[in-house]
Amino acid sequence: MDTQWDCCLKAILDGRADLALTAGQPFPVTFSSRMLFADEFFLICHRNHPLAQRQSVDVAEVAQHAFVGFSQGVSTPIN
């Protein structure tokens, strides 16, 4: 199922799922979890964008521009 991570954990508790792949780490008292991999994130912009000319970019600079991203806890894009 593609849903928020807390719904995935509830599905495990309810016996509807055997395991979950999530971005969040649950309480170790209830669940056993292992980090599988670390994601790398990339700033992608058109080559003519002002940030494309920079060698490095600060997150505060990115926030000054319109962008598309994912909301925490969901896999539905926000814009």
pLDDT surpassing 50 at residue 77: no
12-64 pLDDT, tens digit per residue, is 999 999 888 887 777 778 888 888 877 777 888 899 999 998 889 888 888 88
Q: Could you tell me which residues come within 8 angstroms of residue 15 by beta carbon, excluding any fewer than 6 positions away?
A: none
The pTM for the full model equals 0.48
Helix ranges (DSSP H) in 14-62? 59-62
